[in-house]
Amino acid sequence: MFSRYCRQNLPLLIFKSPKTPLFQQSPRTTTLLTFRNMSDPTAPTTKKRDGGKKEPRPKNKRKKADDHIKRNHTWQLDENRKVVHPGSYANPAFCQLFNVTLPCYSNDDSSQQPATSKKKVAFLLGYLGTAYSGFQINEGQRTLQAEFELALYKCRLLDPRNFGFPHKYGWSISGRTDKGVHACAQVCSAKIELLPEQTLEQVLHALNAVLPNDFRVLDIVRATRNFCAHTQRDQVRYQYMIPSLVFSPQMKPLLQQMMAHKEPRPPNNPLTRDEIAQLQEALQSYRLTPVQLNLLKECLASYEGTHSFHNFTKGVPPTEARATRYILSFTADEPVLHNGVEWIPTQVLGQSFLLHQIRKMVSMAMQVTRGASSLDTLRQALTKDCRVKVDVAPAQGLYLDVSYYTGYNRRKQENPDLDDMDWTRSEEPAYQRWKDFKDNVVMKHVIEEEAKEGNFLKYLFLQEYYTELSKDPEESDGGAEDK
């Protein structure tokens, strides 16, 4: 029949069912289906209603993913994943660097053990980041991920053949914290080897027995096979503690007096221990005024909503989509007293954050509240056509507070045997462990570290005198984007 129409030089009529649309729509064009005149093979088959503009050819998704891997995760390339990760204790050179001796588990030992079953679980972790170069595993640096993998290996929760290959045991983390940043609710997931009678409570105690004292497992929950701690996290809340003394009007005159006595000063450690003690004694009685607190709250509220945060991270131009982030809330609570020093707790809730984004947002808000910048400058920095240099606030006041998995809890209702990943319910034992670690470990450490090191005083000194000469803290941080 088709050949007969061709021989007769007649148009071919195509009858469509009611379910077949006569128009095909795309975001940019509307195409009208027409009939080809078989006598003219060169006749166009479509007419475009947008002036003839063609849809841009989409970039190959596989090539785009490969480019991202080459740029950010070189080890994840196929040819490199055949060897252990250089930042894992499975690497002999890494063990020698940090003087770590591994227990020897051979395949013969494994064959003598009872048969194990592989289960997907989620870990709720709490840690102090002071002694580590961030969470993510990294060559030549002591990281929290490497310490946790070593603990899994020591407890025989990993197959020895998978030690040093995170992708082989389905490793994922909810977000990567920077160097020096603490956490009360870091969530990671992995497939672990469990004995027939072994409970998750026993696993929790076994891991805490071999982990460092500044690293604790707060809870372990069975998860679905396809659970990913990173992609299935809906929201995350960070808390940043600001000492009120940074807003004291006496701060600048005191710094000027010290600057007159000693020059030049090393930009990475500008204040001596005696000078820090002198400043703390003079400023620790300062209390934030209601006007300053309201201005701080107004600054933090300006970050809420969808904005371009290219000025609040590193190496991300405003034209890239990842520069745009959505902040659900950013609030400042009423000041609290700890050891005679007033602190302002601030909480930011969002979907994900860029490298140093929170610390730069806090830094800008502190500068406005101190009178060193203006609220208009802060708001202008959130627009794509503005470039502003924003310094990084100290990492010592920041910690990951809560991770939320609301969507996962709703979707997994089909499997009632699995517990919810909700650590905000006060009646659960995991909530009490989380609260104890937050109040008695993290908060205590933040206060003691500031009293000993004076990190906020050093930060303000650099703001006043060494901004152009000080070493950029981004160069030494072991963080990564997307917390």
Q: Which of 178, 219, 391, 477 is catalytic?
A: 178
Q: Are 246 and 370 in contact (CB under 8 A)?
A: yes
Q: Which residue's structure tokens are 């500044």? A: 214
The answer to whether the annotation marks 404 as part of a ligand binding site is no
Residues 479, 355 contacting (CB under 8 angstroms): yes
CA distance 82 to 94: 17
Active site residue 108: no
Relative to beta strand 235-243, strand 341-350 is antiparallel
Q: Which residues contact 365 (CB under 8 A, 6 or more apart)?
A: 296, 299, 300, 378
* Backbone angle region of 28, left / alpha / beta, with phi > 0 → left and psi within -120 to 50 → alpha: alpha
Rounded CA-CA distance 140/93 in Å is 9
Alpha-carbon span 184 to 433, nearest angstrom: 10
Estimate the crossing angle of helix 144-154 against helix 200-210, to 10 degrees: 120
Among the listed residues 188, 204, 79, 202, the one whose alpha carbon sits nearest the alpha carbon of residue 144: 188
Region for residue 315 given its phi and psi (left: phi exceeds 0; alpha: psi -120 to 50; beta: otherwise)? left
Look up tokens 């000492």; give the residue.
243
Binding residues: 238
Catalytic residues: 178
Enumerate the known binding-site residues for substrate.
238
